[in-house]
Structure 1
Amino acid sequence: MARYTSSYLVNASLNEIPTVLVNILESCGFELVYQAVDYMMAREIPGQVSYSKLVVIEVLIDSTKAKAKEVPITWVVKNDELPLQMNNHCQQRFEQIQQTISEDKQWHLIASVAN
């Protein structure tokens, strides 16, 4: 199973985060499957790649550590594909999402770490 994670500290209020996250996910071709106060799950829309390569994203919003304008967010991007190559489908989607997050104008990244 391919799995890539990244953590961000964003300059936005806790109330603004869900809207921004949904916009980012939709702009990258993902559909929201589940949403709670501090958790979102989205999946890649089927039809472009085989089922085993479909990417699922989990977004964890750490509301316990959130401040007025600083919210920690962790993204987990994964699929059932074995990461036999460095440049696999999950890695490509992970990089696309990272690029979209860093370029989004609705918030300012304070810090980021990718694994």
Structure 2
Amino acid sequence: MARYICSYLAKAPLEELKPALGEVLKFCNFDIIYHTIDYIMARETPGKVLFSKLVTVEVLIDSTTATNQGIQVNLVVKNDELPLQNNNHCRQLFERLQQTLAQDHQWKLVANVPT
């Protein structure tokens, strides 16, 4: 299973954070399939790759430690594909998601842990 993890510090009010995350996910061709107050699960739109390569994104919003400097957001990007190649489909979508977040001034990368 390919899995890539990163943490961001979002400089946005909590009530604006989920809609902003939803827009980023939709821009990267992910459909939100489940969400709660502090959790979003999205899956890559089917049709372009094999089912086993479909990527899932889990977004964990840590609202309990929110400060004036921001809210920590953890992203887990994964699929059922074995990461036999360094540049696999899951990694490509992970990097696209990171690039999209980096273009927005309200996000600051805290940690990037590819596994």
Please state which band the TM-score falls in when normalised by the shorter chain: over 0.9
2:18 alignment counterpart = 18
Cα distance, 1:39 vs structure 2 = 0.1
- Work out the CA distance in 2 between the residues paired with 1:10 and 1:4: 19
* Percentage of matched positions with identical amino acids: 50
Cα distance, 1:112 vs structure 2 = 2.2
In structure 2, give the amino acid aligned to 1:79: N
The answer for unaligned runs of 5 or more in structure 2 is: none
Mapping of 1:2-81 within 5 angstroms?
A: 2-81=2-81
Q: CA RMSD in A?
A: 1.1
Query: Number of paired residues?
Result: 113
Structure 1: 4+ residue segments shifted above 3 A: none
1:112 to 94, 110, 113: 110
Which is strand-richer, 1 or 2?
A: 2
Cα distance, 1:108 vs structure 2 = 4.0
**8 Å CA contact retained: 1:13, 1:69:** no
SS in structure 2 at match of 1:59 = strand
TM-score (ref. length: structure 1): 0.94
Q: Deviations over 1:49-108 (max 9, x none)?
A: 000000000000001101245100000000000000000000000000000011125x24
**8 Å CA contact retained: 1:4, 1:78:** yes
The answer for unaligned runs of 5 or more in structure 1 is: none
TM-score (ref. length: structure 2): 0.94
- Work out the CA distance in 2 between the residues paired with 1:108 and 1:101: 6
